[in-house]
Amino acid sequence: AALREIVRTWTRLGKVRDGIARLEAEKGRVAQGVREIMASHDKAAAKTHPELAALRERGRSLREQLRVLEAEESDLEQRFYLGALQLPNRTHPAVPVGDQSQARLLEVVGEKPVFDFKPKGHLELGEGLDIIRQRRLSHVSGHRSYYLSGAGALLQHALVTFTLRKLLSKGFLPMTVPDLLRGAIFEGCGVQPSATPSQVYTIDPARFEDLCLAGTSEVGIAGYFMDHAVQLQDLPVRVVCSSTCYRTETDTGREPWGLYRVHQFTKVEMFGVTAAERGTESEELLDEFLGLQKEIFSELGLHYRVLDMPTEELGLPAYRKFDIEAWMPGRGKFGEISSASNCTDYQSRRLNIMYSGEGG
């Protein structure tokens, strides 16, 4: 139903624009007629010319018709834009159809650790070692926040450094990005800051108009390339960025404690910009990124599985998405630790990200 309404809006918008073009052309002819009369007669004679009054009346009528159509055009453009923002990307034909339960298992890597005792969870271990603090923080930073200290803080820095070194050795361009970005950048990436509920924190518009906190450095990196043309010979561009991510995480009731699904965390992001000369470049880069993720997690000694995510888990921008879930002994189940998506041209069209070769 939503798609049909978008098509109807676009069809009507085309007709309105055609009508505006016809009226503007006629208005130009009327104006030319008035100028010719004024040029070929003196002022007194022109005022009494039989055609002048008719032309001026027609001009007033055309301006009124244009006023009405231009107002409709503005309304239709807004409706079409807002509707089109809700449209998802196409979907790879091999993607499973359905919800999360339909995810296709592609690979299991490593051996599940076996203990002769009940393993403790990460929060219990961290609190026992005094390297994680999450309790008694409601008066400091609110629910779902935490502190890392001592070895906990060093472990986070070490993981970030390990990953950055790995990716820099593979030719990635390091980047830092703003945490605060305009809503249009989020929308161009397929994120809806104004949705209800939304994963995006919006800054008080009474003080700072149209600024949101990024839930991933993907948004900031995409904004870097917005309205920008990359040279074909420089593609693909591979970018790596470590940033603080902010997410409202509306569905936290199932796990009220721990460092899973928190409001603020540090993440290393891989981002790629490819050409589309052969039509397979973005799929090839997705496979490359997935291979790098597997390499990193294998070197860390994790037991994990790779999933081909189904249609209802792709969000708006992804054409295909692979999730990696690691076995978490304290939770007694697998949990997502990374995701890799191919967004094809979904974001580049919305953000006007281009590339040019020798012929432009």
Check whether residue 77 and residue 190 sit in a common domain: no
Check whether residue 8 and residue 143 sit in a common domain: no
Check whether residue 81 and residue 143 sit in a common domain: no
Contact 269, 216 (CB under 8 A): yes
The count of structural domains within the chain is: 2
Check whether residue 12 and residue 147 sit in a common domain: no
Residue 159 CA to its chain's centroid (Å): 26
Check whether residue 76 and residue 176 sit in a common domain: no
* 196 part of a folded domain: yes
Q: Kindly state the tokens that stand for 14.
A: 């085309």
DSSP letters for 133-201? E-SS-TTTT-TT--EE-THHHHHHHHHHHHHHHHHHTTTPEE----SEE-HHHHHHHT--TTSSS-S-E
* 315 part of a folded domain: yes
Check whether residue 173 and residue 220 sit in a common domain: yes
Check whether residue 79 and residue 147 sit in a common domain: no
Question: What pLDDT, on a 0 to 100 scale, did the predictor assign at position 1?
Answer: 62
CATH number of the domain residue 140 falls in = 3.30.930.10
Q: Kindly state the tokens that stand for 270.
A: 């891989």
Check whether residue 44 and residue 129 sit in a common domain: no
Check whether residue 226 and residue 253 sit in a common domain: yes
* 91 part of a folded domain: no
* 90 part of a folded domain: no
Per-residue pLDDT of the chain (360 residues; tens, 9 = 90+): 688 999 999 999 999 999 999 999 999 999 999 888 888 887 777 777 888 889 999 999 999 999 999 999 999 999 998 898 889 999 999 999 999 999 999 999 999 999 999 999 999 999 999 999 998 888 898 888 999 999 999 999 999 999 999 999 999 999 999 999 999 999 999 998 888 788 899 999 889 889 999 999 999 999 999 999 999 999 999 999 999 999 997 665 566 788 988 999 999 999 999 999 999 999 999 999 999 999 999 999 999 999 999 999 999 999 999 999 999 999 999 999 999 999 999 999 999 999 998 776
| Structural domain containing residue 166 | 100-356
Check whether residue 141 and residue 73 sit in a common domain: no
Question: What pLDDT, on a 0 to 100 scale, did the predictor assign at position 253?
Answer: 57
* 241 part of a folded domain: yes
Check whether residue 11 and residue 49 sit in a common domain: yes
User: Which pTM does this prediction carry?
Assistant: 0.86
Check whether residue 118 and residue 77 sit in a common domain: no
